[in-house]
Amino acid sequence: MRILYHSAFCPFSRKIAFGLKEKKLDFEHQWETVGKPSSRLLSLNPWGELPVLVDQHLVCVNHYVSSEYLEDAYPNPVLMGEGNAYRIEVRRLVSWFDKIFYQDVFWKLFYEKILKCQLHHKAPDTRILKSGYALLQEHMEQVEQLTETHHFLAGKYFSWADITGAAHLSCIDYIGDIHWKLFPSAKEWYCKIKSRPAFRPFLNQILSGVEPALHYSQLDF
Amino acid sequence: MRILYHSAFCPFSRKIAFGLKEKKLDFEHQWETVGKPSSRLLSLNPWGELPVLVDQHLVCVNHYVSSEYLEDAYPNPVLMGEGNAYRIEVRRLVSWFDKIFYQDVFWKLFYEKILKCQLHHKAPDTRILKSGYALLQEHMEQVEQLTETHHFLAGKYFSWADITGAAHLSCIDYIGDIHWKLFPSAKEWYCKIKSRPAFRPFLNQILSGVEPALHYSQLDF
């Protein structure tokens, strides 16, 4: 039995759910609410971090442990890349999205606009939003550069870099903040990701009380 | 040619320097100042994060990329553990130190007491220090529990969990904040780490303007 404790609009949860599907590994969903961990989740990870992956008797307490475990335990298809140089580039991009993009964009836009209100009943701070929009623009330029020269983010092959990038970008795309017209190569890459069967379920997820951007679920947008 | 861009009292830098020495890989030191990245460092990693490891033509931009790369490229001695269960436990502990311990203890004690003054000429906030001391106590109880039943942090074998734990704890031990008498098993474990040839160099490092705790460099303390 394989269970993923996760939340639909947590990018780290999306990453592991997407990775599991790419590796064609079935799992049960245990839905959690960001910021309100269940007692079962806390018993598996006292810090209440999402996601937690349980695979038989093995417990992976966060996205880092989970993604590396999935690659160790289920090496086909290879998603961390072949060869040291490719693996370095995949992990560089994974940590860039998980750390820099997350704190600069998810936190300043998705948290500020959506979660801050839902969890703390507070209005967004316009200065933080302004900074978030500027950083999103800057970071999308990075994604554009990568996709201008590469078929996938790390190079020729689909990898955890694409999985992680799509997990983060799709949350921001749900609230309509990405101006895809300015980033044609990034858009082309994201079209390819959206058309992968493993990614489709995320396009049908709905966040209670928040309508998705009109193009969010469209494969060709 | 192998070069490590690092700083003596950055726990992430210590982790990679210690790991390199455990794997008996020679490297040149390029000393950096936390919070004041050199232009060379910024050209390798625009976010100025420490450490950066350059191995021939390969660039690892942070501790996560570096530790996984070292394990991929130089698998002997094995430091990530053998078997999925052990590797999951090693990575769980690595991420616990790098995320939870770092934000709860390094940030609230070492940054607050030392770096805040050195970098920003500001005095420590006593409320933050109080919270840091309480969390250090709580986290040391976790380390004590692990070392009561295990020879090393993740189990029978020395691993990246010990390397990462010692990297973080040694920075806090330098400023004398760990009351080892309260944690006899953790102390015994740390004695073993201190006596490893690869760890010795860290015990001779001095932070300008800050005297180490008297026992800091003693192997039997």
Write the pLDDT tens digit of every residue in A94-144. 999 999 999 999 999 999 999 998 889 999 999 999 999 999 999 999 999
Please say if the pLDDT value at position A221 is more than 90: no
Least Cα separation, residue B66 to chain A (angstroms): 8
- Write down the pLDDT at residue A35: 86
Write the pLDDT tens digit of every residue in B78-91. 999 999 999 999 99
Nearest Cβ partner for A64 among B47, B69, B91: B91
- Write down the pLDDT at residue A98: 98
Pairing of β B58-60 and β A28-31: unpaired
User: Which residues in chain B touch residue A89, judged by CB atoms under 8 angstroms apart?
Assistant: none
> Taking CB atoms and an 8 Å limit, are B65 and A91 in contact across chains?
yes
> Taking CB atoms and an 8 Å limit, are B100 and A61 in contact across chains?
no
Measure the CA–CA gap between B70 and B79, rounded to whole angstroms: 9
> Taking CB atoms and an 8 Å limit, are B64 and A88 in contact across chains?
no
Taking CB atoms within 8 Å and a gap of at least 24, the contacts of B124-130 are none
> Taking CB atoms and an 8 Å limit, are A69 and B59 in contact across chains?
no
B2 pairs with which residues across the strands? B55
Three-class SS of residue A28?
A: strand
Least Cα separation, residue A203 to chain B (angstroms): 30
State mean pLDDT over B178-195: 97
Q: What is the architecture of the domain spanning B84-203?
A: Up-down Bundle (1.20)
Closest-CA residue of B relative to A57 is B85
Domain B2-73 has CATH 3.40.30.10: yes
> Taking CB atoms and an 8 Å limit, are B84 and A59 in contact across chains?
no
pLDDT band, very low/low/confident/very high, at B185 (cuts 50, 70, 90): very high
Three-class SS of residue A11?
A: helix
Write the pLDDT tens digit of every residue in B80-121. 999 999 999 999 999 999 999 999 999 999 999 999 988 899
Measure the CA–CA gap between A151 and B188, rounded to whole angstroms: 52
User: Which residues in chain B touch residue A100, judged by CB atoms under 8 angstroms apart?
Assistant: 47
Write the pLDDT tens digit of every residue in B49-81. 999 999 999 999 999 999 999 999 999 999 999
Please say if the pLDDT value at position B140 is more than 90: yes
User: Which residues in chain B touch residue A65, judged by CB atoms under 8 angstroms apart?
Assistant: 88, 91-92, 95
Contacts of A215 (CB under 8 A, 6+ apart): A173, A176, A180, A221
Q: Count of H helices and E strands in chain A? A: 9, 4
Residue boundaries of the structural domains of chain B: 2-73, 84-203
Measure the CA–CA gap between A171 and A136, rounded to whole angstroms: 13
Least Cα separation, residue A219 to chain B (angstroms): 33
Helices (H), chain B: 11-22, 39-44, 63-73, 84-95, 116-120, 126-149, 160-174, 184-194, 200-203
The edge-to-edge listing of strands for the beta sheet with A52-55 is A28-31, A2-6, A52-55, A58-60
- Write down the pLDDT at residue B35: 86
Nearest Cβ partner for B95 among A62, A72, A84: A62
**Portion of chain B with pLDDT greater than 90, in percent:** 95
Name which of B82, B86, B89, B95 to mutate to probe chain A: the one with the most chain A Cβ atoms within 10 A of its Cβ: B95
- Write down the pLDDT at residue B220: 83
User: Which residues in chain B touch residue A62, judged by CB atoms under 8 angstroms apart?
Assistant: 92, 95
Nearest Cβ partner for B84 among A58, A62, A88: A58
> Taking CB atoms and an 8 Å limit, are A88 and B60 in contact across chains?
yes
- Could you tell me which of B159, B21, B146 has the C-alpha nearest to residue B83? B159
- Write down the pLDDT at residue A220: 83
User: Which residues in chain B touch residue A47, judged by CB atoms under 8 angstroms apart?
Assistant: 100
Q: Is this prediction's ipTM beyond 0.85?
A: yes
> Taking CB atoms and an 8 Å limit, are A64 and B100 in contact across chains?
no
> Taking CB atoms and an 8 Å limit, are A92 and B68 in contact across chains?
no
